[in-house]
C-alpha cells in the first residue's frame, strides 16, 4: 500500500511524528502536499479538507490517505500505522500504553505551541509577545520538568529492556520522543543545556534514534524539514532562559 501523507509543506510540525514512523518503517509513502506535480501540493490538501462530498472529513492536517481510508489526528494515524509498520507490540495492553504515551506527547506538544501563541493561533507572535513571555516562564519552570520527568521515568521503568519506552524494540513512541527532544533543543537551547542532565535516558534515546540507519539517512535527506519560526518548536531567545 502506498500511503499519502498530507501536511503543511513548510514546517516539520505535527506531520513530522508521522514521517518518522513512515521512514523507520520503510513505508511506501508520498509527502503529498510537498509534491507540486501531484495536484498542486497544498491546494490538493485544502481540497480534501473542504470537499463537501467527503463523509468523514478531517478537521485539520496532518491526515493520511491509506487506500479508501482518510485518517486524521497525529496520534490516531500512529495508532493505525504502528502495527502495520512493526512499530508497536502485538498485545492490546502494549498498544494502549503506546497510544497513551503518544497522547501525552501530543498534550506537551500543544503546550509548547501555545507558549508562542497563548492568545490565538490566528494572531502573529508579535501580537502576543508579552503574554508569551509570561507563559514561557511556566513552561520552563513547571511543565517541561513535569513532562520530561515523566517520560524519563517511563524509560527507567520499562522492565523489558533499557533504552526503549515500551518492550524490547523501537516503537513509534521512541521516534516521537526523539523529535520532542530535538525540538526542545532547537527552541529552548539555554533551558535544555541547563536541565538535560536530569534526563539522561531521554538524551540517550534521542542519540540512539538519530543513529539508526534509516533515521540517519532520513535526517540527512531533503525529506527532513528543518525547524523554523513558523512551526511548533520556535526559537525566540526571549522565551528561553
Beta bridge partners of residue 6, listed in sequence order: 63
Of 1 and 56, CB closest to a second copy: 56
CA–CA separation, 29 vs 78, rounded Å? 14
Binding residues vs a second copy (CB under 8 A): 54-59, 69, 71-73, 75-76, 79-80, 93, 96-97, 99-100, 103-104, 107, 110, 114, 118-120, 122-123, 131, 134-135, 138, 142, 147, 150, 153-154, 157-159
CA–CA separation, 221 vs 36, rounded Å? 18
Minimum CB separation of residue 63 from a second copy in Å reads 9
> What phi, psi does 50 have (nearest 5°)?
-105, 5
Of 145 and 224, CB closest to a second copy: 145
CA–CA separation, 183 vs 109, rounded Å? 10
Among 100, 127, 104, CA closest to 116: 127
Q: DSSP character for 2?
A: -
Minimum CB separation of residue 184 from a second copy in Å reads 17
- Cis peptide leading into 89, omega within 30 of 0? no
Minimum CB separation of residue 214 from a second copy in Å reads 26
Of 29 and 97, CB closest to a second copy: 97
Minimum CB separation of residue 167 from a second copy in Å reads 11
Minimum CB separation of residue 73 from a second copy in Å reads 4
Of 26 and 156, CB closest to a second copy: 156
* CB 218 within 8 Å of CB 224: yes
CA–CA separation, 112 vs 118, rounded Å? 10
Of 149 and 210, CB closest to a second copy: 149
Amino acid at each position: 500500500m502506498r500511503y499519502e501523507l498530507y501536511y503543511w509543506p513548510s514546517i516539520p510540525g505535527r506531520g513530522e511524528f508521522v514521517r518518522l514512523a513512515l521512514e523507520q518503517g520503510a513505508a511506501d509513502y508520498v509527502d503529498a502536499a510537498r509534491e507540486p506535480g501531484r495536484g498542486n501540493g497544498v491546494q490538493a490538501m485544502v481540497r480534501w479538507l473542504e470537499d463537501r462530498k467527503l463523509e468523514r472529513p478531517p478537521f485539520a492536517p496532518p491526515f493520511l490517505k491509506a487506500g479508501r481510508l482518510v485518517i486524521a489526528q497525529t496520534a490516531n494515524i500512529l495508532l493505525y500505522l504502528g502495527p502495520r509498520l512493526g512499530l508497536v507490540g502485538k498485545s492490546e495492553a502494549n498498544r494502549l500504553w503506546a497510544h497513551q504515551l503518544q497522547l501525552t506527547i501530543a498534550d506537551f506538544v500543544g503546550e509548547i505551541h501555545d507558549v508562542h501563541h497563548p492568545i490565538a493561533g490566528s494572531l502573529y507572535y508579535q501580537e502576543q509577545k508579552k503574554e508569551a513571555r509570561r507563559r514561557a516562564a511556566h513552561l520552563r519552570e513547571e511543565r517541561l520538568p513535569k513532562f520530561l520527568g515523566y517520560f524519563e521515568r517511563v524509560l527507567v521503568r520499562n522492565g523489558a529492556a533499557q533504552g526503549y519506552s515500551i518492550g524490547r524494540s523501537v516503537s513509534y513512541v521512541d521516534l516521537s520522543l526523539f523529535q520532542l527532544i530535538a525540538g526542545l533543543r532547537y527552541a529552548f537551547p539555554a533551558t535544555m543545556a541547563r536541565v538535560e542532565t536530569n534526563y539522561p535516558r531521554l538524551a540517550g534515546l534521542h542519540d540512539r534514534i538519530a543513529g539508526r540507519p534509516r533515521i540517519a539517512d532520513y535526517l540527512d535527506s531533503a525529506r527532513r524539514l528543518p525547524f523554523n519560526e513558523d512551526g511548533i518548536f520556535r526559537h525566540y531567545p526571549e522565551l528561553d532562559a
